[in-house]
């Protein structure tokens, strides 16, 4: 159906010519789901855009062919390419809120495709659009067809996007991270919908994702990409039961889950190499635990290590291809057991954060958005409380309000005490004194560090503000010690944040929070912007810190793998309320509340 | 020893230059800023514009060093009497161009003319006739203007252009030599690299612009001592001289008024975006009201008030120039006070966005004061907006001055400015035959200046605005830069 041969895509970036996709070959059969999986920046999305010839202005396909039913679309003129897009091959993007036109009704957006590619038009096209809305599971399709995108929820928008992609009944659908922007329960629904539609339509799906669990749930075959190349191709069963490439093996070990509690996660050192260079050896050599001399100067070829299972690694270039790869890799060392829980650090009682809705000329308050509505929990020293919930459940608001960051924006009631001191009435120096106790680490390491400040200024700011008794020399000593603690070199001090990778920046953010010696760190999705291999590094670091310093974590997340690995206690939030709260074993093993059960059921898992 | 005079605008202009120099020093020491400005330096259009701007700025600076010449001691004065100074304040530029400044005709004459533009009654051989009289200075050396004029102008033009070409050649060679020294390649190779655009800094564009300027300069230098190159105005003043004097006014208005908007725009913009709520409401009301009053009306009212103040306190100012200067100074201030709304609105929006960012939240969690957050976390991150808007607004204000002077509420009538030149063109264009050169000169100078500023500004905006960068069209193929490297290596 789709046959890609030696596809090579170059991008003219600020850092020079970047080879985003390097000699990629794959074939997809009718009715098959083929998953392209890899970390950010490995060339997955560029492959999709190359197939559709929708590359940015600075990119071009330098060589190779993309055949759809024996027509090479790379050679087609743009006018006939337009007949291919939508009719033969179409795409579902990641972000449903930006991939729909906000000023057109959803019906119009679907009929646009139908009228462009089929002979149906007018009333018939509208009827067809309503039929499609029904098929993608929008209730009351005849009524919703006149709705604008803002009237739909995120999951419904993605359903509409799927309807648009499928309206002209293409042979191939590219799904580029179709559920990354959605909550787990919605994600499960969308994935089920795709499977159903595939069964009905018989189209091929090229599924692009970074989430191995989704691959396992959805795909028939899988190709893993690294630094622009495919490093392993196999059927899903083979790939998950016996991965061959060291990168794949390491990734599986780096994924946090219940079974790995109390162990260190196997993290892959370093990060993906920049692609603006000419590689002489294996691209993974610098991070590989099994690196050999020949890896450094012989680029490995994609070879069939087993029937239907190709891998790009020198390990399997020998005769000993029968070796199980897992035996090659050492098991991760255990962490020392958790120290016993200490005194109560944070105590939250009946906490409410209501955002006023103001209307009219005088901005009178006409109502409230009850972001947090009566939450009660406590955290002991050296423990981790995971606050889980879907987007909009108020979990981030809890974290910010606890740190007194929302005082001016919202009406807050209930009590919070840190180490026995109530926070609500504190002002000025007293408040500053308490702020030392609780600090925050944010989700996006690119937004949480001021790009115009050097690392030492960033790290010093908190100490200078909260610990005025510390003089300048002690301050720089303390900062240098913090850098060592989070595993960064001291020459980082004079550099700017943009010179660091995402994982390194998250280390800086952690160092900044630690510099004032807090007892509690509110970690707001600290790893959700990071790749799996880097996530493992950060999770290991957090565990070590907790063990050494006895800090407590309020861990806000939607990632259940991380929760299962890290949390001592779990609190589940929905619509501003805690629906269930208890120890990790209890919540994960015997969830009582209906919502917790549905949440846990929706999480895609590797070992089920 | 003449007495140096420091006018208000002179002081501010020099302070401003010092500020720009400090910023340049700061930018070379800050890696991110250096990176950004380097992309401006590598933009051929921007650098050509910068060459033109430098010439304009140089003329403005020369025109800003003022002094009152020492008068010869009065006859019979005591030897230790206090020295007497002329009441006329001159600038360095006035002194350099004393020829054209003093060669004043009676009234209009066309560019490069030898005769007056209008007829006059003259006594020739005892008879009264009406004819075009000869000019006092323009083409005064010609015996018989009808036959001698064309050859004289042509020979002088050729000499001037040759001189300019020689100077340009010398400049090319000097740049090539300096680059050759630092790269350790022969001068010929270095010249070839420049000509083929294989240098990081677009030297070819810079040198071509400079060459054009030198050619024009040579031509003017050869002709100006003998003719009025761009003619004379109603009162017989040399128009080229007027136009060159107007540059300073334009620079002063553009830069001061921009500078005067900054405290209001930054202060109000940041405060509104940071504190939100009531503060935001009040500030928004202020600038909405301000921008709904016609600004000409507001400025006219202010200028009239200033004029009354100046007229009522004659003791404050020693010379007419000082009076005119204080009006110019205050006019810039008024333009600043009335013109901050646009930038403030942009900064408010940008600040609203920034305050939601995590690093601002982190600073709040550290208990950093509001002022500290605004100074350290917000201001540096909106400075690119300030820079972009300031550079764009500069040219707008230069044009606005012309509008105000045309309406009659601009600079003092005795101050040379493009606006007053255009204002006088109102009557000149309605007479027959029309006097076109005054308007044309003002137009040509102003367009050159403002266009250069705009081109430079667009390069600055592109360098500082991350969103603009995403839309950059495909650059030249990498093979060219590779060529440059191989050529350099061959040279070694």
Q: How far is B23 from chain A (nearest CA, A)?
A: 16
Q: Residue B283: what pLDDT?
A: 94
Q: Using a CB–CB cutoff of 8 Å, tell me whether A16 touches chain B.
A: yes
- Pair A562, A526: CB distance under 8 Å: no
Q: Does domain A381-393+400-406+423-601 have CATH number 2.40.420.20?
A: no
Residues sharing a CB contact under 8 Å with residue A560, sequence separation 6 or more, in sequence order: A184, A388, A599, A600, A603
Mutation test of the interface with chain A: which of B359, B379, B466, B469, choosing the one with the most A Cβ atoms within 10 A? Answer: B359
Residues of B in contact with A518 (CB under 8 A): none
Residues of A in contact with B361 (CB under 8 A): 400, 405, 440, 442
Is residue B261 situated within a structural domain? yes
Query: For A137-151, how does the pLDDT look when each residue is reduced to its tens digit (9 = 90+)?
Result: 888 899 999 999 988
Q: How far is A161 from chain B (nearest CA, A)?
A: 26
Is B376 in Cβ contact with A435 (below 8 Å)?
no
CB contacts < 8 A, A to B, total 75
Is A496 in Cβ contact with B32 (below 8 Å)?
yes
Q: Residue A429: what pLDDT?
A: 81
Cα distance from N-terminal residue to C-terminal residue, chain A:
31
pLDDT at A573 over 60: yes
Q: Using a CB–CB cutoff of 8 Å, tell me whether A55 touches chain B.
A: no
Nearest to B424 by CA among B444, B402, B445: B402
Q: Is the dihedral of CA B375, B378, B381, B387 positive or negative?
A: negative
Is A435 in Cβ contact with B362 (below 8 Å)?
no
Query: For B139-184, how does the pLDDT look when each residue is reduced to its tens digit (9 = 90+)?
Result: 888 888 888 888 999 999 999 999 999 999 999 999 999 988 888 8
- Pair A416, A422: CB distance under 8 Å: yes
Is residue B179 situated within a structural domain? yes
pLDDT at B63 over 60: yes
Q: Does domain A2-219 have CATH number 3.40.50.2300?
A: no
Q: Using a CB–CB cutoff of 8 Å, tell me whether A402 touches chain B.
A: no
Is B365 in Cβ contact with A405 (below 8 Å)?
yes
Residues of A in contact with B478 (CB under 8 A): 12, 16-17
Mutation test of the interface with chain A: which of B34, B362, B375, B485, choosing the one with the most A Cβ atoms within 10 A? Answer: B362
**Residues B249, B220 share a domain:** no
Q: Do domains A2-219 and A381-393+400-406+423-601 have the same CATH topology?
A: yes
User: Which of A12, A448, A498 shows the shortest C-beta gap to B362?
Assistant: A448
Residue A554, φ and ψ in degrees, nearest 5:
-100, 105
User: Which of B276, B372, B377 shows the shortest C-beta gap to A450?
Assistant: B377
**Residues B216, B346 share a domain:** no
User: Is the bond preceding B48 in cis, omega lying within 30 degrees of 0?
Assistant: no
pLDDT at A10 over 60: yes
Q: Please give the ipTM for the structure prediction.
A: 0.77
**Residues B457, B383 share a domain:** yes
Q: How far is B254 from chain A (nearest CA, A)?
A: 29
Query: For A319-378, how does the pLDDT look when each residue is reduced to its tens digit (9 = 90+)?
Result: 444 444 444 455 556 667 777 777 888 999 899 999 888 877 777 778 888 888 889 999
Query: For A423-451, how does the pLDDT look when each residue is reduced to its tens digit (9 = 90+)?
Result: 877 887 888 888 888 899 988 888 888 88
Q: Using a CB–CB cutoff of 8 Å, tell me whether A509 touches chain B.
A: yes
Q: In which band, very low, low, confident or very high, does the pLDDT at A130 lie, cut at 50, 70 and 90?
A: very high
* Residue of chain A whose alpha carbon sits nearest to that of B368: A465
Q: In which band, very low, low, confident or very high, does the pLDDT at B52 lie, cut at 50, 70 and 90?
A: very high
Mutation test of the interface with chain B: which of A443, A450, A556, choosing the one with the most B Cβ atoms within 10 A? Answer: A450
**Residues B220, B254 share a domain:** no
**Residues B212, B258 share a domain:** no
- For residues B326-343, give the mean pLDDT: 89
Is residue B418 situated within a structural domain? yes
CA distance linking residue A593 with residue B398, whole number of Å = 70
pLDDT at B208 over 90: yes
Q: Residue A39: what pLDDT?
A: 84
pLDDT at B458 over 90: no
* Residue of chain B whose alpha carbon sits nearest to that of A447: B358
Is residue B349 situated within a structural domain? yes
Residues of B in contact with A455 (CB under 8 A): none
- For residues A126-141, give the mean pLDDT: 91
Chain B positions with Cβ closer than 8 Å to A: 31-32, 276-277, 281, 357-359, 361-369, 372, 376-377, 380-381, 469, 472-475, 478
Q: Residue B482: what pLDDT?
A: 43
Q: Using a CB–CB cutoff of 8 Å, tell me whether A514 touches chain B.
A: no
Report domain extents, chain A.
2-219, 248-316, 381-393+400-406+423-601
Query: Which residues pair with residue A353 across a beta bridge?
Result: A372, A412
Nearest to A516 by CA among A473, A482, A554: A482
Is residue B297 situated within a structural domain? yes
DSSP string, B65-90: -EEEPBPPPPTT--TTSPPPB-SS-E
Domains contained in chain B, number: 2
Is A461 in Cβ contact with B366 (below 8 Å)?
yes
pLDDT at A110 over 90: yes
User: Which of B369, B372, B478 shows the shortest C-beta gap to A17?
Assistant: B478
Query: For A448-504, how does the pLDDT look when each residue is reduced to its tens digit (9 = 90+)?
Result: 888 888 888 888 888 888 888 888 888 888 888 888 888 888 888 888 888 888 888
Q: How far is B89 from chain A (nearest CA, A)?
A: 47
Nearest to A68 by CA among A92, A46, A90: A90
Q: Residue A330: what pLDDT?
A: 52
Q: Which two tokens stand for residue A154?
A: 């995120």
Q: Residue B467: what pLDDT?
A: 54
CA distance linking residue A38 with residue A13, whole number of Å = 21
Query: For B304-334, how does the pLDDT look when each residue is reduced to its tens digit (9 = 90+)?
Result: 898 898 888 888 887 788 888 888 899 999 8
Q: Residue A550: what pLDDT?
A: 87
CA distances from A121 to A80, A86, A108 (A): 21, 16, 11
pLDDT at B478 over 50: no
Q: Using a CB–CB cutoff of 8 Å, tell me whether A447 touches chain B.
A: yes
Residues of A in contact with B366 (CB under 8 A): 435, 439, 461-462, 465-466, 516
Q: Residue A318: what pLDDT?
A: 64
Q: How far is A94 from chain B (nearest CA, A)?
A: 20
pLDDT at B475 over 60: no
Mutation test of the interface with chain A: which of B354, B356, B366, choosing the one with the most A Cβ atoms within 10 A? Answer: B366
DSSP string, B319-336: SHHHHHHHHHHHHHHHHH
Q: Residue B193: what pLDDT?
A: 85
Q: How far is B350 from chain A (nearest CA, A)?
A: 15
Is residue B409 situated within a structural domain? yes
Nearest to B163 by CA among B126, B217, B237: B217
CA distances from A101 to A97, A405, B61 (A): 9, 35, 54
Nearest to B206 by CA among B391, B409, B52, B364: B52
- Pair B244, B59: CB distance under 8 Å: yes
* Residue of chain B whose alpha carbon sits nearest to that of A517: B366
pLDDT at A126 over 50: yes
Q: Residue B245: what pLDDT?
A: 92
CA distance linking residue A533 with residue A325, whole number of Å = 19
Is B473 in Cβ contact with A57 (below 8 Å)?
yes
CA distance linking residue A130 with residue A133, whole number of Å = 5
**Residues B152, B267 share a domain:** no
Identify the domain containing residue B379 by its residue range: 245-470
Residues of A in contact with B473 (CB under 8 A): 57
Lowest mean pLDDT among A244-253, B73-82, B197-206, B331-340: B73-82
CA distance linking residue B7 with residue B13, whole number of Å = 10
Residue B13, φ and ψ in degrees, nearest 5:
-60, -40
Nearest to B242 by CA among B57, B101, B353: B101
Is B365 in Cβ contact with A440 (below 8 Å)?
yes
Is residue B386 situated within a structural domain? yes
**Residues B283, B222 share a domain:** no
* Residue of chain B whose alpha carbon sits nearest to that of A443: B358
CA distance linking residue B416 with residue B120, whole number of Å = 28
**Residues B341, B264 share a domain:** yes
**Angle, CA of A454, A456 and A459, to the nearest 5°:** 110
Nearest to B384 by CA among B453, B450, B273, B466: B466
**Residues B394, B279 share a domain:** yes
The upper half-sphere exposure of residue A372, i.e. CA atoms within 13 Å in the direction of its Cβ, equals: 27
Q: Using a CB–CB cutoff of 8 Å, tell me whether A437 touches chain B.
A: no
């Amino acid at each position: 159906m789709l046959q890609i041969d030696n596809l090579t895509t170059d991008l003219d970036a600020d850092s020079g010519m970047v080879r985003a996709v390097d000699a990629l070959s794959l074939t997809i059969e009718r009715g098959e789901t083929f998953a392209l999986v890899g970390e950010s920046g490995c060339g997955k999305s560029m492959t999709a855009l190359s197939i559709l010839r929708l590359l940015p202005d600075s990119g071009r396909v330098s060589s190779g062919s993309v055949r759809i039913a024996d027509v090479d679309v790379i050679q087609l003129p743009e006018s006939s390419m337009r007949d291919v897009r939508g009719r033969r091959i179409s795409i579902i993007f990641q972000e449903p809120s930006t991939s729909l036109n906000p000023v057109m009704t959803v019906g119009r957006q679907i009929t646009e495709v139908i009228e462009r590619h089929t002979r149906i038009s007018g009333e018939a096209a509208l009827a067809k659009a309503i039929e499609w809305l029904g098929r993608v599971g929008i209730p009351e399709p005849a009524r919703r067809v006149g709705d604008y995108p803002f009237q739909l929820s995120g999951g419904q928008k993605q359903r509409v996007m799927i309807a648009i992609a499928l309206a002209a009944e293409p042979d191939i659908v590219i799904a580029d991270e179709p559920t990354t922007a959605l909550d787990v329960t919605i994600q499960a629904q969308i994935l089920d919908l795709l499977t159903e539609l595939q069964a009905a339509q018989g189209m091929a799906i090229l599924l692009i994702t970074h989430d191995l669990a989704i691959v396992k749930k959805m795909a028939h075959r899988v190709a893993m990409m690294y630094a622009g190349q495919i490093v392993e191709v196999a059927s899903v069963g083979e790939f998950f039961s016996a991965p061959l490439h060291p990168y794949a093996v390491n990734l599986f070990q780096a994924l946090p889950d219940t079974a790995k509690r109390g162990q260190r996660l196997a993290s892959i050192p370093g990060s993906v190499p920049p692609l603006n260079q000419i590689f002489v050896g294996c691209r993974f050599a610098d991070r590989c635990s099994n690196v050999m001399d020949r890896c450094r100067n012989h680029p490995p070829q994609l070879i069939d290590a087993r029937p239907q299972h190709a891998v790009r690694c020198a390990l399997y270039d020998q005769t000993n291809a029968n070796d199980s790869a897992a035996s090659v890799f050492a098991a991760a060392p255990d962490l020392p057991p958790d120290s016993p829980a200490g005194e109560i650090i944070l105590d939250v009682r009946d906490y409410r954060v209501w955002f006023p809705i103001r209307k009219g000329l005088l901005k009178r308050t006409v109502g409230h958005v009850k972001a947090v509505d009566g939450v009660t929990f406590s955290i002991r020293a050296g423990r981790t409380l995971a606050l889980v919930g879907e987007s909009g459940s108020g979990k981030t608001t809890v974290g910010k309000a606890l740190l007194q960051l929302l005082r001016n924006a919202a009406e807050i009631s209930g009590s919070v005490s840190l180490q026995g001191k109530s926070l609500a009435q504190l002002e000025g120096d007293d408040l500053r004194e308490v702020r030392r106790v609780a600090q925050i680490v944010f989700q996006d390491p690119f937004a949480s560090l001021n790009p115009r400040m050097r690392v030492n200024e960033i790290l010093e700011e908190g100490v200078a503000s909260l610990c005025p008794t510390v003089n300048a020399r002690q301050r720089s000593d303390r900062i240098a010690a913090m850098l060592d603690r989070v595993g960064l070199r001291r020459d980082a001090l004079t550099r700017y944040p943009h010179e660091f990778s995402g994982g390194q920046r998250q280390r800086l953010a952690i160092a900044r929070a630690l510099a004032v010696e807090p007892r509690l760190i509110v970690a707001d999705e600290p790893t959700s912007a990071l790749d799996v291999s880097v996530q493992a590094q950060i999770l290991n670091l957090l565990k070590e810190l907790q063990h050494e310093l006895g800090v407590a974590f309020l861990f806000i997340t939607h990632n259940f793998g991380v929760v299962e690995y890290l949390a001592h206690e779990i609190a589940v939030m929905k619509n501003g309320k805690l629906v269930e709260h208890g120890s990790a074993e209890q919540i994960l093993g015997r969830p009582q509340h209906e919502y917790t059960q549905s949440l846990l059921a929706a999480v895609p898992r590797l070992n089920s | 020893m003449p007495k140096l005079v420091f006018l208000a605008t002179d002081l501010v202009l020099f302070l401003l230059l010092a500020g720009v120099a400090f910023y340049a020093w700061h930018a070379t020491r800050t890696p991110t800023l250096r990176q950004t400005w380097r992309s401006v330096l590598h933009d051929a259009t921007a650098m050509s514009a910068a060459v033109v701007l430098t010439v304009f700025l140089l003329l403005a600076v020369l025109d800003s060093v003022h002094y009152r010449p020492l008068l010869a001691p009065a006859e019979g004065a005591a030897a230790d009497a206090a020295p007497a100074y002329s009441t006329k304040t001159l600038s360095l530029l006035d002194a350099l161009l004393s020829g054209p400044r003093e060669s004043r005709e009676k009234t209009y004459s066309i560019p490069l003319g030898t005769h007056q533009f209008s007829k006059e009654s003259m006594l020739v051989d005892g008879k009264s006739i009406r004819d075009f009289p000869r000019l006092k200075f323009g083409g005064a050396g010609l015996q018989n203007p009808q036959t001698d004029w064309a050859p004289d102008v042509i020979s002088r033009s050729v000499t001037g252009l040759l001189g300019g070409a020689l100077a340009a050649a010398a400049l090319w060679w000097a740049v090539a030599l300096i680059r050759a020294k630092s790269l350790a390649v022969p001068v010929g190779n270095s010249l070839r690299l420049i000509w083929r655009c294989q240098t990081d800094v677009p030297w070819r564009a810079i040198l071509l612009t400079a060459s054009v300027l030198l050619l024009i300069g040579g031509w003017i230098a050869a002709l100006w001592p003998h003719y009025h190159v761009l003619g004379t105005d109603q009162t017989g003043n040399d128009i080229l001289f007027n136009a060159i004097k107007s540059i300073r006014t334009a620079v002063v208005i553009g830069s001061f008024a921009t500078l005067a908007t900054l405290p209001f725009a930054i202060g109000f913009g940041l405060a509104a975006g940071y504190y939100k709520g009531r503060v935001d409401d009040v500030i928004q009301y202020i600038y909405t009201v301000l921008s709904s009053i016609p600004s000409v009306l507001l400025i006219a009212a202010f200028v009239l008030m200033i004029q009354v103040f100046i007229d009522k306190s004659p003791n404050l100012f020693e010379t007419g120039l000082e009076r005119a200067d204080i009006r110019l100074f205050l006019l810039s201030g008024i333009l600043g006070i009335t013109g901050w709304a646009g930038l403030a609105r942009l900064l408010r929006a940008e600040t609203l966005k920034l305050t939601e960012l995590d690093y601002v939240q982190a600073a709040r969690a550290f208990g950093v004061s509001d002022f500290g957050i605004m100074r350290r976390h917000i201001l540096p991150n909106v400075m690119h907006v300030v820079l972009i808007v300031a550079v764009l607004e500069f040219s707008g204000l230069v044009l606005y001055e012309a509008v105000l002077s045309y309406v009659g509420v601009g600079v003092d009538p005795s101050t040379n400015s493009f606006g007053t030149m255009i204002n006088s063109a109102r009557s000149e264009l309605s007479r027959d035959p029309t006097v076109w050169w005054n308007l044309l000169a003002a137009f040509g100078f102003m367009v050159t200046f403002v266009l250069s500023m705009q081109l430079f500004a667009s390069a600055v905006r592109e360098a500082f605005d991350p969103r603009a960068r995403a839309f950059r069209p495909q650059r030249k193929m990498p093979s060219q830069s590779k060529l440059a490297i191989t050529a350099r290596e061959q040279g070694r």
